Structures are given as structure tokens and as C-alpha cells.
Structure 1
Amino acid sequence: MTTPSPVTSRHARPAIISAHDVHKSYGTGQNRFDALTDVSLDIHEGQSLAIVGKSGSGKSTLMHVLALLDAPDSGSLILDGADTRDLRGKKLNRTRNKTFGFVFQQFFLTGSNTVLENVILPMKIAGIGRAERRRRGLAALAQLELDDKAKNKAVNLSGGQKQRAVIARALVNNPRIIFADEPTGNLDSNTGQTVEDILFTLNREHGITLIVVTHDEELAARCDRRIQIRDGRIVEDSDGEVAA
């Protein structure tokens, strides 16, 4: 009798992140707030996933837990087969810096620094040499058609250019996963469409797993998979892994 494969035919690739019965709360006593309750899901490598929900639903908390920016109170988070509870200090920072890229609505660029200086920051944190930082930073900017702005101060960029610089910064350490939190929230519709196209090209042509937190149903519809979170629980999953 043939033993079934642990990966179903529905998913050609294994789970890169697995959350099991994750719970996260803030505050104590009467001020206690359950941000996540019994959240379980597998995210498969190369997948694009939209996490949707109303403000306060827990979607940003879920992203922070998945991205190792916050630790769950209970439950487990498995990253590429390894239990993340074993990650501490420098090892945690190194794993996060090497594995993930981040694209946030607020940009988080240092306006007084050049575009290139902003883009190479993750590599400085990783201890990569100056020449290699410059080479990879310029290559990432060229990929985003922004290399001509490398010496410009970040404060002088348009909104769309700032978001492309943020994406370039997310790419310089060759991440396996990009987390995008409302990536088009501060952009006009045309510029937002361009940024979306860039992210989905990275996902589909380069195999980078894309996890998007968004209120935008049109953006969510472009993803392979959509999960809805309400009151800290997953109530709908287009993969059918969680019952509504």
C-alpha cells in the first residue's frame, strides 16, 4: 500500500509557514483583549495570500506574529520546518532579516538619507560588506526602474517612487517571503496598480511568497488565496482549510 504524500496535489510546494492554535492577547484583567484566538493555517511556498478584515479584526496582529515581529502567547509557529520558539536574540533577528522582506503603507524611509542608503539598510544590519551592499542595492533599484534616483534624498521622491524604493529594500536580502501591509493605501489608483503589478510579478516570476494585509477587495482578489479574520479568528479561507 502506497503511503500518501504529506503535500497534497492541490499544493505543489510544502508549507513554508504553519501556525497551530495561535493565541495572542494584550493587557490584563478587565483590560485584556484577545487579538488572536486559536488561529491555525498553512501558507505554502510561492503562494500569494490576502489577509482581510475590518479594522481591529486582528489581521495586522496575525501578520506581526507570522513575520516574527511579535510572539504568540500560546500555540506554535513553524517556519520552514523549524519551531520559531527556539529563536532568540541575534538568531531571531538574523532569521527575520534573511527570510522576510517588508512593504508597509507608511514607507518608513529616512528622508534625509539617499534612496540607496535607505535600500541597503537590511544588508548593513546583516553585516554585508560595503561594496556588495552597493552592488545589490543598485541592482534592486534597477529592477524597480529607480536606479536613476539612487543619489536623491528619499524625502524628494513621489509616493509611488517611495513605495518602489521600499520594495527594493525588501528585495536586497533575497527574501523568501514578502509581507505587505496595505501596500497601496497611500497611493493613487494608477500608482497603486503599478505597485501591485510589481509585487505579483515578484511572486509569480520569482517564486517569492507574498502575504498581503489589506482592506482592498480588488487587491485581495488578485491573490491565490484569501482569508478573512473577524474578532481574532479566521472565519473564511478560500483554500477550505478553515470552516466559516
Structure 2
Amino acid sequence: MNTPIMSVDDLHKSYGRGQNRFDALRGVSFGVHEGESIAIVGKSGSGKSTLMHLMALLDAPSSGGIVLEGVDTGTLRGSRLNRTRNRTFGFVFQQFFLTGNTTVLDNVVLPMKIAGIGRAERRRRGLAALEQLEMEGKARSKAADLSGGQKQRVVIARALVNNPRILFADEPTGNLDSQTGAVVEDILFTLNREHGITLIVVTHDEDLAARCDRRIFLRDGLVVEDSAAVAA
């Protein structure tokens, strides 16, 4: 198999000191290959959300490292770190993180605004992403006026506008009913299969995890099972 797009090497993450110290991750290692769909699975407190935040370069490990396309991410600072994160990753969170009193289109184009892309191009790409998610008719609506399923489609559109290589989804169906959740799942896996976007899902939903190519199970900050290793 080709070189991983991302390598996670002996990641440790601790919070606090002394008697108050909590070891969220205690030495996690694995590779992520381009185009995979991976579920990071574990109970609350297993370390799965901490791991996702480190992989997405939203936080730094206490020790260990992450190599992204041959670059040691520990060397990235300031604008270079922000640019790498903005260009490489898309994010889908269960809480949506939409600005309710602004339009759907304004919410979708925000990553491009941060990246310094011009207004006309932002609008073009934002509308194209909404069309892909069958939400172009809501472009001028306020985000607060949308249903839960519509909000999650807008979140996915926002995640796609910078053409990410890797899409992180943290409990993407956690706030949705089962029928709407199934639609959102189908969208994510279609993006993975048909567009080659690497999909990393953090979930405790076994049915969602079962749809992924690979499942990595965490317990108490350690990988206790990796289905890729089992398959090998």
C-alpha cells in the first residue's frame, strides 16, 4: 500500500499536573491512507475526541507526533499551521457551529473568507457546494430557520468548499433522528467513495462505524483493536 497520507506516531496527551493529571491518550499509533473511511470508536472518556483534535491540528500532543503528507506537523506554526489546516481538512460537528442570524451562504463561505479568497469566487464555490448538497434553494435563508438535517447539510457544504483531502466528522448524526441521520451518513460516504475524500468519523454508534472501511477502537487512551490489523 502507498505511503499513508497521515501517520500518527506514539501520541500522548495529558491534562493537568500531579494528582490532577489525566492521561487522555497513552501512546496511539496508526497510519491513514488516502481515500479510506475510518471510524474511531470508543465510550465516553476513551480519548477518541482528543485524538481527533490532535489529528486535525486543533491541539498539540504532549509527546509523539503526526506526519501529514511527509511533513512533521510539530514544525508548523502560526499562519503556516492555519493554512495547512484550512486547505487540508474539512470539519463536520454534531453541534453544527453555524451563525444563526446570518445566511446559509455566508456560513458556507466562511472558510474561504479566512483563506483570503475573493468574494466572487467564494460565492461561486459556496453555491456549488450547496447545490451538491441539494440546499441551493436555502442560500439566502437564515441558518437559524433550518431543520437539524438541513443544518447538517450546510455544515457539510461548508466543509467541502476548500476541497479538503480529509474530512473529520465528530458524531455527525448525534443530533439527528434516525431517518435524517441515515441521509447524512449516505452523503458522507458518497463523498468518500465518489470524490476520494478521506473520511475520519468519531462515533460511539456501532452501525455508523460498521459502514467504514476500518474501525479503530480506543479504551482508556489506547488502541485496543484496529480492524485493518485484524484483516491483515
Give the TM-score of the pair, scaled to structure 2.
Answer: 0.98
Tell me the distance in 2 between the aligned counterparts of 1:49 and 1:155.
31
Aligned-residue offset at 1:76: 1.3
The counterpart of 2:64, out of the listed 75, 80, 85, is 75
| Counterpart residue number, 1:240 | 229
The answer as to 2:167 corresponding to 1:167 is no
Tell me the distance in 1 between the aligned counterparts of 2:75 and 2:43.
33
The counterpart of 1:179, out of the listed 159, 164, 168, is 168
The counterpart of 1:118, out of the listed 102, 107, 110, is 107
| Counterpart residue number, 1:140 | 129
| Counterpart residue number, 1:56 | 45
The answer as to 2:12 corresponding to 1:23 is yes
Tell me the distance in 2 between the aligned counterparts of 1:85 and 1:185.
32
What is the 5 A alignment of 1:206-221?
A: 206-221=195-210
The counterpart of 1:129, out of the listed 94, 104, 118, is 118
Q: Which amino acid aligns with 2:7?
A: S
Tell me the distance in 2 between the aligned counterparts of 1:87 and 1:200.
30
Aligned-residue offset at 1:130: 0.1
Q: Which amino acid aligns with 2:91?
A: F
5+ unaligned residues in a row in structure 2: which ranges? Answer: none
| Counterpart residue number, 1:40 | 29
Tell me the distance in 1 between the aligned counterparts of 2:187 and 2:4.
24
| Counterpart residue number, 1:107 | 96
Tell me the distance in 1 between the aligned counterparts of 2:171 and 2:62.
25
Tell me the distance in 2 between the aligned counterparts of 1:123 and 1:169.
9
5+ unaligned residues in a row in structure 1: which ranges? Answer: 1-6, 8-12
Aligned-residue offset at 1:241: 7.2
Aligned-residue offset at 1:39: 0.6
The answer as to 2:194 corresponding to 1:197 is no
Give the TM-score of the pair, scaled to structure 1.
Answer: 0.93
Large movers: runs of 4+ above 2 Å: none
Tell me the distance in 2 between the aligned counterparts of 1:142 and 1:174.
15
Aligned-residue offset at 1:14: 2.9
Tell me the distance in 2 between the aligned counterparts of 1:26 and 1:86.
22
The answer as to 2:75 corresponding to 1:89 is no
How far does the alpha carbon of each residue in 1:204-235 deviate from its partner, in whole angstroms, 9 at most, with x for none?
00000000000100000000000100000000
Tell me the distance in 2 between the aligned counterparts of 1:19 and 1:215.
21
RMSD: 1.0
Q: Which amino acid aligns with 1:166?
A: V
How far does the alpha carbon of each residue in 1:21-55 deviate from its partner, in whole angstroms, 9 at most, with x for none?
11110001100000001110001100000000000
Q: Report the identity percentage.
A: 76
